[in-house]
Structure 1
């Protein structure tokens, strides 16, 4: 399922670049993008005092975000964390690591996904597009005017407020809300 949805998103986003021939890019665009991104990884570029980085560090995801990727990371602004409870409130508590990891991997998309790519996928999807996350669940992308809005599994809406910050292993998109995955399913106890 993950591979199918990821492949579908890649095809949808890849197809976006072929719809408008008036805005075609030079063949050496990947090399230019790599130059623009420099050699700084997503992990290295995140604010070490920021709430997202501190939570990622507590969950051990900072080393993942320093890896080869590519990843697209949806980083909630610090003030968004004041509106959440649970594992994100007490990220340093080792007992919260599994839940923290589940929530944070909901903020990571496989591959490099730019704001324009999401917008085109929404347009091609007649107003919405499903976006696969690294935790196996999806977000629903829509548009509010020119802004891309991501809706999580519980109905929270996060607007991308700043983004396309390219790094050597992907891209960072800043959102105004912490996204929450569907509740973790618990297997019934066997008697």
Structure 2
């Protein structure tokens, strides 16, 4: 599998280098296939530009991780979810001296591997109505269902509903959620 990825990446790079105008000095726009092969369809590239989650991830260097091979499942709080935090909480987390705390909060929203909504739903059903999910930050979330919606609960009891599921990327999947989840301290 690694050989195939390397070959695809090499072919995409060769295609990009050879796709020049008649003077040979202006590269042509990459195709969708070559962009995917070159890693432009990663979770990091798919985060909404200017979103609070994307800005926070970039400020602590997690954008590089989320641009890597993965696979990852990322629970991305919407900007409205960040707006529900207590006044000034995000500003405090974005300060350089709070980098470790912000990294902890963001990594609490990253799950190892690819977990589609269907996978989470099946785990909830198999667990008798709930399942525990380990995060990259070392914490756990409890997943349950309310009707057909997947609900994730943090250690403090904050609930986040998956509002948009299964945005697939080359290195994993993104689920949008309606609340920011916080790890226990």
TM-score normalised according to structure 1 size: 0.74
Q: Using the alignment, how far apart are the partners of 2:70 and 2:175 within structure 1?
A: 15
Larger Rg: 2
**Which residue of the other structure, out of 163, 167, 183, is the alignment partner of 1:181?**
183
CA contact (8 A) 1:74 1:174 kept: yes
Higher relative contact order (CA 8 A, sep 6+): 1
CA contact (8 A) 1:87 1:99 kept: no
CA contact (8 A) 1:87 1:97 kept: no
Q: Using the alignment, how far apart are the partners of 1:76 and 1:92 within structure 2?
A: 16
State the Cα distance separating 1:89 from its structure 2 match.
2.8
Q: In angstroms, what is the RMSD of aligned CA positions?
A: 1.4
- Deviation above 6 Å: which 4+ runs of structure 1? none
Count of residue correspondences: 147
Unaligned runs of 5+ in 1: 1-34, 184-191
CA contact (8 A) 2:56 2:102 kept: yes
What residue is the counterpart of 1:23 in the other structure?
none
**Are 1:120 and 2:122 an aligned pair?**
yes
Q: Report the 3-state secondary structure (helix = DSSP H, G, I; strand = E; otherwise coil) of the residue aligned with 2:174.
A: strand
Which deviates further from its counterpart, 80-89 or 142-151? 80-89
TM-score normalised according to structure 2 size: 0.76
Unaligned runs of 5+ in 2: 1-32
What residue is the counterpart of 1:63 in the other structure?
64
